[in-house]
Structure 1
Amino acid sequence: MKMKKVLTLAAAFTMAFSITACGGGGNTASPETPAPAPAPAETAKTDPPPADAPEFAPEEGAKLVVWESKDERAYTDEVIKAFTEKYGVEVTLEEMAPTDQLTKLSQDGPSGLAADVVIFPHDQLGRAASSNLVAPNDVFEVETIQANTESAIQGVTYNDTLYGYPRAAETYLMYYNKELIQEAPKSFEEVIEFSEGFTDNAKNKYGVMWETGNLYFTYPFLASNGGYIFGNNGTDVKDIGLNNEGAVKSMEVYQSLNKVLPVKAGDITPDIKRSLFTAGDLAIDINGPWELSAYKEALGDNLGVAPIPTIAGQPAVSLAGIKAWYVNAYTDYPKAARLFANFATNEENQLKLSSLVGSVPTNKAAQESDQIKNDPYVSAFTEQFNSSVPMPSVPQMNNVWSPVGAALTEIWDNNKDIKASLDNAVKQLQELNSGTGEAK
């Protein structure tokens, strides 16, 4: 079912279909594009029955394997236990980094050796879907769309077809040390004003820091005044907005920050930032939820979190990653796999994931829960996520990182002309997208 049709249906429904018990990274390098695979026989035979059909149940004797990261298996172990109790399906968890799963799926999916349910960065979805490696989220399509934020749905949709079952969002915000700066700056003008009196390069003390050469973290300085990667919600690769007037305006703020962060882009690494921030030598770090636990342990009550400050008068638009389950198109148990992916991402289980690892739910009801609203850290990430856009999931996204990263470094390190640098990056990206260029 195409997304436009589903959105029309979703507007007409007042209740989502539900058969669940409770009803409702970062910038990572992507694997090479897997070779196109033939459509699996199972998904080509018949359309699955509606989710509310009484006969929709796991296949008799179904057994599932799911791939999950080591860091989040505590959540999946609990989900597996509850799912097995409800549906009587045995589920085995195999640990695998999400960034490795698409490559492994492309190798082992056709031979029947891959997991039935997988997870990978959503910007890899275009390659997975165009190679027929994952099955559409068709049975629970309306329910999924109604339950989750628009940004999350956009992230797990490719060519107007919903594939993923969103379970969490991931973006970045502003961590700050209350002992060094009592209140969170509201604008980057305030950040510069504070940093001018705090930064001491000779003593390795800095008012603010982020990975200035990394598009993922620097995206707000391209997008907050109207820049974008690809048009039409990240799907029109011929419409590139990385060098438009709005992008240049935001990048002027970016370039001006170099005077209070006089460090080469290549010398700003996650380890360096972490060390400076936990030691009290960095007041503001723009970073993701993966640092939350260590920062809370190091700073305790002095740790503050807030949305990214405004850029040239506009709210900061960050890039978001959508963590989602996907059903292996070659699974022997497509019903059980769909049931698991949907069950594992309902409101209750998204809240479970958040309580265990501090993740940001994509489920709208979960975002409005007391658990999330009363957590100052997760609620701040939720606020920033709702001002974010998902990374495009088209295969051409893989071409973006290198030329844009090179342009950012030139602008930051060498004070190069913003418009000329961005124009050159876009030219390289167009060549890569057309197959006439080479990645550098």
Structure 2
Amino acid sequence: MQAVTFSLVLCLLLTLTVTACGSGNGNSASKPNSSPNSAVNEPGGTTNETNTSGENTTDEEMEPEAGAKLMVWEAKEQLEYMKQIAADFEKEYGVPVTVEEMAGGDQGARLATDGPSKLAADVLTLPHDQIGQAVKAGLLLPNDVFEEETKSTMVATAVQASSYDGILYGYPKSVETYALFYNKDLIPDAPKTWDDVIAFADTYNNPKENKFAIMWEFVGYYSYPFIGSFGGYIYGDNNTNFKDIGLNNEGTIKGFTFLQSLKKILPLNAGDITYDVKTQLFQEGKLAMNIDGPWSITAFKENVNLGVAPLPKGPDGQDSLSFSGVKSYYVNSYTEYPVAGRLFAHFASNKENQLKNFEMTGAIPASIEAGEAPEIKDDPIIGGFFEQFQNSVPMPSVSEIKSVWEPLKAAFVSLWNDSNLDVKQTLDQTVTTIQADLESK
């Protein structure tokens, strides 16, 4: 509760700071930029009027501001990749780009403190669950010039995650979600449905020898397939309306009832199924399938004949929906070069550069065409994650989601450990607990 209160206070302070810096103090240099065309150079050195038609301008019609230069923040693991992109951009547009190392988790906070004082990068990367506070504080420019192109070329989930309050801000860069790891030596073909998993478990499971068909962690993050896949939801309006809690609706009740039925193929209590336990069993060749994310690939590639596939379809043939995360480029609203900044974010996120990012760092692309490229689609590991991502829901980015995780985990664990618990009553109590926490803030 203290962490949430601090976040809300910080957000308010940031909003007040930006308002103060952008108010009528006579210092136009401190005000954030918004127009993509007010500084577009035409032949002869004149500038266009601000575009008020609502039509998107393409990069062929745009030219960077005279004398433009950019600074880009990038995390250490992507530094060399970004330096190549910066060099390529300078060759094409004549705009020098300085790349400064900045940890991914620090960029949003630094933008909040350094943006209004003109010390922040012109372009940076943010995970989608951080953009809400940045938008409220007036720190990001909308992706308006390339909006339609972005929406048509990027996976819809990535576009949704890079938007806030119906406005697109990000230029999607990479995605991640969890999927089904499987050991090809134990199960050559990934099961398509949960019925297939159950049938395999009947022939493979041997708890006395610690041999199990499938495992996943019992935390709220991994419970979403048993919510969204069955018609449930956490908050309404795409997880933005915390006054509408869907964790005890008919869909969620159905999903968690199905979850209880799976205890027969994984006869362990939730507390006995940890990340370390399932990782060790998978490495030892005792666990056939493991629901996990791309962050665990390196732990298995050396000693497991590894495959990755989408999560098994539900009992009614429905796709299993996972939670996902999206990283996108964003343009600092206080940049002195809003045109060059937009051009760079668009350039860095194009199909070719997303494929280069995958080649150099393993980042899974958000571009539809990049995902269809042979190096992604035919990759026995990455292709499975990209396919699952298309059946995913962005992690909620509203601060009120913090009221959900612990009660949801408790329900997830309780209903698994005690098959005699009534699903509806348990989920009703879960929603009551969440509502009480929300009202106390």
2:41 match: none
Which among 215, 224, 238 is matched to residue 209 of structure 1? 215
After alignment, is 243-252 or 350-359 more displaced?
Answer: 350-359
Please give the secondary structure, in 2, of the residue aligned with 1:120.
strand
1:272 aligns with 2:277: yes
1:233 match: 238
Which among 157, 168, 172 is matched to residue 174 of structure 2? 168
Q: CA distance change for structure 1 residues 46 and 207 in 2, over 3 Å: closer, same or farther?
A: closer
Q: Which runs of 5+ in 1 are unaligned?
A: 1-28
Q: CA deviation at 1:127?
A: 2.0
Query: What is the letter of the counterpart of residue 359 of structure 1?
Result: A
1:312 match: 315
Q: CA distance change for structure 1 residues 267 and 132 in 2, over 3 Å: closer, same or farther?
A: farther
Contact 2:32 / 2:333 at 8 angstroms: preserved in 1? Answer: no
Q: CA distance change for structure 1 residues 69 and 53 in 2, over 3 Å: closer, same or farther?
A: closer
1:35 match: 11
1:371 aligns with 2:375: yes
Q: CA deviation at 1:348?
A: 0.6
Query: What is the letter of the counterpart of residue 226 of structure 1?
Result: G
After alignment, is 196-205 or 303-312 more displaced?
Answer: 196-205
Superposition pairs of residues 13-92 of structure 1, within 5 angstroms: 32-33=7-8, 34-36=10-12, 37=15, 38-39=18-19, 41=22, 47-49=35-37, 51-52=57-58, 56-92=62-98
Which among 383, 388, 391 is matched to residue 384 of structure 1? 388
Q: CA deviation at 1:241?
A: 1.8
Q: CA deviation at 1:43?
A: 6.2
Please give the secondary structure, in 1, of the residue aligned with 2:234.
strand
Count the aligned residue pairs.
405
Query: What is the letter of the counterpart of residue 272 of structure 1?
Result: V
2:51 match: none
Contact 1:163 / 1:326 at 8 angstroms: preserved in 2? Answer: yes
Cα distance in 2 for residues equivalent to 1:408 and 1:43: 48
Q: CA deviation at 1:414?
A: 4.1
Q: CA deviation at 1:295?
A: 2.3
State TM-score, norm by structure 2.
Answer: 0.83
Please give the secondary structure, in 2, of the residue aligned with 1:297.
coil
Cα distance in 2 for residues equivalent to 1:185 and 1:152: 27
Q: CA deviation at 1:395?
A: 3.3
Q: CA deviation at 1:84?
A: 2.4
After alignment, is 101-110 or 306-315 more displaced?
Answer: 101-110
1:428 aligns with 2:418: no
State TM-score, norm by structure 1.
Answer: 0.83
Cα distance in 2 for residues equivalent to 1:176 and 1:53: 44
Q: CA distance change for structure 1 residues 85 and 270 in 2, over 3 Å: closer, same or farther?
A: farther
Contact 1:124 / 1:395 at 8 angstroms: preserved in 2? Answer: no
Q: Which runs of 5+ in 2 are unaligned?
A: 23-29, 38-55
Please give the secondary structure, in 1, of the residue aligned with 2:302.
helix
Please give the secondary structure, in 2, of the residue aligned with 1:304.
strand
C-alpha offsets along residues 218-253 of structure 1, whole Å, 9 cap, x if unaligned? 210111111112223333332222221111111122
Contact 1:158 / 1:393 at 8 angstroms: preserved in 2? Answer: no
1:345 aligns with 2:334: no
Q: CA deviation at 1:194?
A: 2.6
1:131 aligns with 2:137: yes
Query: What is the letter of the counterpart of residue 32 of structure 1?
Result: S
Q: CA distance change for structure 1 residues 332 and 417 in 2, over 3 Å: closer, same or farther?
A: farther
Query: What is the letter of the counterpart of residue 356 of structure 2?
Result: K
1:361 match: 365
Q: CA deviation at 1:311?
A: 2.2
Query: What is the letter of the counterpart of residue 154 of structure 2?
Result: N
Contact 2:71 / 2:122 at 8 angstroms: preserved in 1? Answer: yes
Q: CA deviation at 1:267?
A: 4.4
Contact 1:154 / 1:233 at 8 angstroms: preserved in 2? Answer: no
Cα distance in 2 for residues equivalent to 1:223 and 1:387: 10
Q: CA distance change for structure 1 residues 357 and 242 in 2, over 3 Å: closer, same or farther?
A: farther
Contact 2:33 / 2:335 at 8 angstroms: preserved in 1? Answer: no
1:321 aligns with 2:325: yes
Contact 1:132 / 1:329 at 8 angstroms: preserved in 2? Answer: yes
Contact 1:125 / 1:394 at 8 angstroms: preserved in 2? Answer: no
1:404 match: 408
2:120 match: 114
Cα distance in 1 for residues equivalent to 2:391 and 2:141: 29
Contact 1:176 / 1:283 at 8 angstroms: preserved in 2? Answer: yes
2:53 match: none
Contact 1:320 / 1:391 at 8 angstroms: preserved in 2? Answer: yes
Q: CA deviation at 1:197?
A: 4.2
Q: CA deviation at 1:359?
A: 3.3
Please give the secondary structure, in 1, of the residue aligned with 2:197.
helix
Please give the secondary structure, in 1, of the residue aligned with 2:364.
coil
Cα distance in 1 for residues equivalent to 2:155 and 2:302: 31
